[in-house]
Structure 1
Amino acid sequence: MVKSHQHLTFFHLFSLISCTLLFLLFFSPPFLFFSQFPVQSFVSNNISSSNKKIYSNGNANINNGGGPCSSITNNTICCDRTSYHTDVCFMRGDVRTHPPSFSITLYSTSINASLEQSHELKIKPYTRKWEAFLQDKIEELSLKVINASPSAPILHCDIHHDAPALFFSAGGYTGNLFHAFNNGILPLYITSQHLNRRVIFVVLQDHKWWHTRYHEILSQLSGYPPIIFSKDEVRTHCFPEAIIGLRFHGTLTIDPTQMNDRKTAEDFHQFLDKAYKHRAKRYMHVHAIITDEKPKPRLVIISRNGSRAIENEGELVQLGKKIGFHVQVMKPECMELAEIYQVLNSSNVMVGVHGAGLTHFLFMRPGSVLVQIVPIGVDELARSCFGEPAEKLGMKYVEYKIEPRESSLYRKYEDSDPVLSDPESVNGKGWQVTKDVYLEGQNVSLDLQRIGVHLVRVFQYVVSLRGL
Structure 2
Amino acid sequence: MGFLSVAYQLLFLQLLLFHSQGSATLCSQDQKVRIDNKNLTVYIPSSQSQVSRKNIKPYPTTDPLHLVTSVQIVNEETNLPACDFNHNVPVLVFSSGGYTGNLFHEMDELIIPLFITSRHFRSNLKFVIIDYKAWWVNKYSRILSRLSRYEFINPAVNGSVHCFPGAVIGLKFHGLLALNRTDIPGGAKTRRFVNEHEMVVMMEELGFGVFAGGCGHLAGGATGLDWASSNYFGEPAREMGVKYLEYTIEPEESTLFQTYGKDHAVVTDPQSIFVKGYQAARAVCIDEQNLKINVERFGETLFQAKQLIEDSSSLN
Question: TM-score, length-normalised on structure 1?
Answer: 0.54
Whether 1:164 and 2:90 are equivalent positions in the alignment is yes
Q: Is the 8 A contact 1:304 1:310 kept in 2?
A: no
**Alignment map for 1:313-392 (pairs within 5 Å):** 313-330=196-213, 332=215, 357-358=218-219, 372=220, 374-392=221-239
**What per-residue deviation string (whole Å, max 9, x for no partner) do you get for residues 28-78 of structure 1?**
xxxxxxxxxxxxxxxxxxxxxx776445364223544x8xx25xxxxxxxx
Identical amino acids, percent of aligned pairs? 29
> Partner residue of 1:3?
none
Structure 1 residues without counterparts, runs of 5 or longer = 1-49, 71-79, 272-302, 334-351, 359-371
Q: 1:174 aligns with which of 100, 120, 126?
A: 100
Q: Is the 8 A contact 1:121 1:144 kept in 2?
A: yes
| Alpha-carbon offset, residue 384 of structure 1 | 0.6
Q: 1:456 aligns with which of 293, 296, 303?
A: 303
> Partner residue of 2:58?
125
**What per-residue deviation string (whole Å, max 9, x for no partner) do you get for residues 266-323 of structure 1?**
x8xxx9xxxxxxxxxxxxxxxxxxxxxxxxxxxxxxx977xx5434322112112223
Whether 1:447 and 2:294 are equivalent positions in the alignment is yes
Structure 1 residues 331, 384: closer, same or farther in 2, change over 3 A? farther
Aligned-partner Cα distance in 2 for 1:324–1:455: 10
**What per-residue deviation string (whole Å, max 9, x for no partner) do you get for residues 406-449 of structure 1?**
455666327xx9977xx6x6526753496677556765433323
The DSSP-based 3-state class of the residue aligned with 2:210 is strand
**What per-residue deviation string (whole Å, max 9, x for no partner) do you get for residues 193-251 of structure 1?**
233433322222333443343234334433x2143132532554322211111123333
| Alpha-carbon offset, residue 455 of structure 1 | 2.2
**Alignment map for 1:50-449 (pairs within 5 Å):** 53-56=4-7, 58-61=9-12, 63-64=14-15, 69=17, 80=19, 83=20, 85-92=21-28, 93-106=31-44, 119-131=52-64, 133-135=66-68, 138=69, 140-148=70-78, 152=79, 155-156=82-83, 158-161=85-88, 163-222=89-148, 224-233=149-158, 235-255=160-180, 261-263=182-184, 309-330=192-213, 332=215, 357-358=218-219, 372=220, 374-407=221-254, 412-413=261-262, 427=271, 430-432=274-276, 443-449=290-296
| Alpha-carbon offset, residue 383 of structure 1 | 0.5
Structure 1 residues 247, 397: closer, same or farther in 2, change over 3 A? same
Q: Which amino acid aligns with 1:202?
A: V
The structure showing larger relative contact order (alpha-carbon pairs under 8 Å, at least 6 residues apart) is 2
Q: Which of these two proteins has the greater Rg computed from alpha carbons? A: 1
Higher-strand-fraction structure: 1
Aligned-partner Cα distance in 1 for 2:208–2:100: 35
Aligned-partner Cα distance in 2 for 1:445–1:233: 48
- Count of residues paired in the alignment: 306
The DSSP-based 3-state class of the residue aligned with 1:399 is coil
Q: Is the 8 A contact 2:92 2:170 kept in 1?
A: yes
Q: Is the 8 A contact 1:87 1:246 kept in 2?
A: yes
| Alpha-carbon offset, residue 167 of structure 1 | 0.6
The DSSP-based 3-state class of the residue aligned with 1:229 is coil
Q: Is the 8 A contact 1:122 1:143 kept in 2?
A: yes
Q: Is the 8 A contact 1:159 1:235 kept in 2?
A: no
Structure 1 residues 57, 244: closer, same or farther in 2, change over 3 A? closer
| Alpha-carbon offset, residue 378 of structure 1 | 3.1
Aligned-partner Cα distance in 2 for 1:234–1:101: 8
Aligned-pair Cα RMSD in Å: 4.0
| Alpha-carbon offset, residue 453 of structure 1 | 2.9
Q: Which amino acid aligns with 2:32?
A: D
Q: Which amino acid aligns with 1:413?
A: K
| Alpha-carbon offset, residue 172 of structure 1 | 3.0
Question: TM-score, length-normalised on structure 2?
Answer: 0.75
| Alpha-carbon offset, residue 186 of structure 1 | 1.7
